Structure 1
């Protein structure tokens, strides 16, 4: 199955990378980081090429992420009604606490809905673009580099394991917080 997927991606070339990155930037749950990793394997770029390719993919990501950003500004009332209030407050609380750099961190860890939060929070478009670029550029450099290391099956498995570890840590923290609040109320 992996060889079949690699053959398809080789055939479509850069268009596959652009589409993979753009789809995630549109706030669709899609693994753009894995696409960059696979293309790092397929292209086997040098360090200079990794930096150039990362600029290219980051610019595509920024351009596509402006769609949900502007949608959230244009249809603010509709989106505020549709977004789960807990997610909205959760993201806004982290942005308030850690500052606007949470946009860059959110891009690095794959928080796709962060574009909506930035739009709803009336973040300046130039600041949104810069922070999105920084967050995805660093992820892109890392994934292109990991892709050049060779064994793609092992790398994909490791990335998925790390992703599950991050989700597990977040879940444990949330459960710990809920238990703490419950205990504190008693």
Structure 2
């Protein structure tokens, strides 16, 4: 196995189930992070029984649903600012697609990696918050079960080949995390200096 992936596997194994929930939260929050891939890896690492698979999938779906309110609320609260920042035609197109397929697009879009964009559109369209959460959970739960199950069945070579195919995605996600961390540290220190001055 590639040395980089051995390190990733070791790191995720050390994190335990916490890493599964952190990865899920990052993807749901609209950070470019391969959350579904992390679930697949944990299916391989944890080898959950059928009952544990269902319980883990429920927990993962709950975490994803909770953190998907981040892009939802951004869309909900900052609709006018998003219109200024983004191309007006693209904003309208996203809303039209969302309205065309209805609120069920919140659930149906989750397995296809565009769920985060639909979260913004749902917020901008002022979808009921409870309905948004329920539909998000419905969309994520089957995907979580499938990823855990496939990971459990997979051999190390299969998981490794998926990782290698997604290497660019992983590196972009890791780079984004690092950038966010450095930006946070910079802003935090700047705010601290202002407060001290």
Question: Which of 50, 68, 71 matches 1:68?
Answer: 71
Question: Which of 149, 156, 174 matches 2:153?
Answer: 149
SS at match of 1:28: coil
Inter-partner Cα distance in structure 2 for 1:32 and 1:86 = 30
Q: Which runs of 5+ in 1 are unaligned?
A: 162-186
1:33 aligns to 2:43 (yes or no): no
Quote the residue 1:182 is aligned against: none
SS at match of 1:16: helix
Inter-partner Cα distance in structure 2 for 1:36 and 1:153 = 17
Contact 2:76 2:124 in 1 (8 A): yes
1:46 aligns to 2:39 (yes or no): no
Inter-partner Cα distance in structure 2 for 1:157 and 1:109 = 20
Quote the residue 1:134 is aligned against: 138
Q: Within 5 Å, which residues of 2 pair with 1:58-97?
A: 58-97=61-100
Distance verdict in 2 for CA 1:153–1:135, change over 3 Å: farther
1:2 aligns to 2:1 (yes or no): no
- Deviation (angstroms), 1:94: 2.4
Inter-partner Cα distance in structure 2 for 1:52 and 1:127 = 22
Contact 1:58 1:136 in 2 (8 A): yes
Cα shift readout 1:107-151 (whole Å, capped 9, x = no counterpart): 111112221110000100011001110111111011001000122
Equivalenced residue count is 162
What is the CA RMSD across the aligned residues, in angstroms? Answer: 2.1
Quote the residue 1:116 is aligned against: 120
Moved more, 54-63 or 11-20: 11-20
- Deviation (angstroms), 1:84: 3.6
Structure 1 length as normaliser, TM-score? 0.79
Inter-partner Cα distance in structure 1 for 2:163 and 2:117 = 21
